[in-house]
Amino acid sequence: LRENDGKDTAIISGVAGAFSGMAEAIVTTPFQVVKVRLLSKEHLGRYQNSFDCVVKVLRDEGLVAFTTGLSATIFRNSVWNGVYFTTIKCIKDAFPAPRDSKLAAMMHSLSTGFVAGVMATMCNAPFDVAKSRIQAQLTPTAASGVAGRNPTTIQYTSTLQTLMTIGRTEGLGALYKGFTPKAIRMGLGGAVAVTAFEGVCEMAKDFQSIT
């Protein structure tokens, strides 16, 4: 799986990225639950702020509610990270960064990171929509205290079921709602992330050579 010069291949980069997404999802899912609850129109006025949301979710739904949508988050993050790092590797192999100009090298990193971020978002957008739908739901216990909610009905039960339900009832386009602003945001984030990472690595090498 390694190239003749010992460097990692695109496959290794993609697999490593996917596994990093799994670890990331496990750590960040509770924060995602709070964020989705605060942003969802279904919960307008229910939570005053992040701390109030944490307290109410813990009181009304229990600690396990903070793991809601974990599988969808794992899919979302693993797909994004895997595609992102694979795309970066492929672009850098096909179009190596220029070595004669730091400005040109930085622009190369920015453009590579942006393309990789957009590509990754194209692949993981449906999982992001599914994650948000699942995490916006109240548990039956909590729903029983909300007017107009049927405490026995949970519309979305798993990642695959959510994707199929949305596609069947709302059309495949619903799986890409909000794609354009998200793609731009993640593209910019991916561009800045890889450029900053490579810049710090270069600074460290220069510092090490001096000392």
Look up the pTM and report it.
0.86
pLDDT band of 53, cuts 50, 70, 90: very high
The two tokens of residue 33 are: 């639950």
What pLDDT, on a 0 to 100 scale, did the predictor assign at position 208?
Answer: 78
pLDDT band of 18, cuts 50, 70, 90: very high
Give the distance from CA 20 to its chain's centroid: 11
What pLDDT, on a 0 to 100 scale, did the predictor assign at position 209?
Answer: 78
What pLDDT, on a 0 to 100 scale, did the predictor assign at position 110?
Answer: 97
Q: Which residues contact residue 31 at a Cβ distance below 8 angstroms, ignoring those fewer than 6 apart? A: none
- CA-to-CA distance for 97 and 104, rounded, in angstroms? 8
What pLDDT, on a 0 to 100 scale, did the predictor assign at position 205?
Answer: 84
What pLDDT, on a 0 to 100 scale, did the predictor assign at position 26?
Answer: 96
At residue 2, the 3 state secondary structure works out as strand
Q: Which residue has the higher pLDDT, 8 or 86?
A: 86
For residue 90, pLDDT beyond 50: yes
- Cα dihedral value 74, 25, 122, 170, nearest 10: 60
- Give me the mean pLDDT over the 181-195 stretch: 97
- Give me the mean pLDDT over the 174-200 stretch: 96
Of 164, 179, 72, 32, whose CA–CA distance to 119 is shortest? 179
CA distance between the termini of the chain: 35
Percent of the chain with pLDDT over 90: 75
- CA-to-CA distance for 123 and 143, rounded, in angstroms? 33
pLDDT band of 77, cuts 50, 70, 90: very high
pLDDT tens for 120-164 read: 999 999 999 999 999 998 876 565 555 445 544 688 999 999 999
Q: Which residues contact residue 91 at a Cβ distance below 8 angstroms, ignoring those fewer than 6 apart? A: 112, 115, 116
pLDDT tens for 105-118 read: 999 999 999 999 99
What pLDDT, on a 0 to 100 scale, did the predictor assign at position 147?
Answer: 46
Contact 194/88 with Cβ under 8 angstroms? yes
Contact 167/175 with Cβ under 8 angstroms? yes
Q: Which residues contact residue 114 at a Cβ distance below 8 angstroms, ignoring those fewer than 6 apart? A: 187, 188, 190, 191
- Give me the mean pLDDT over the 166-178 stretch: 95
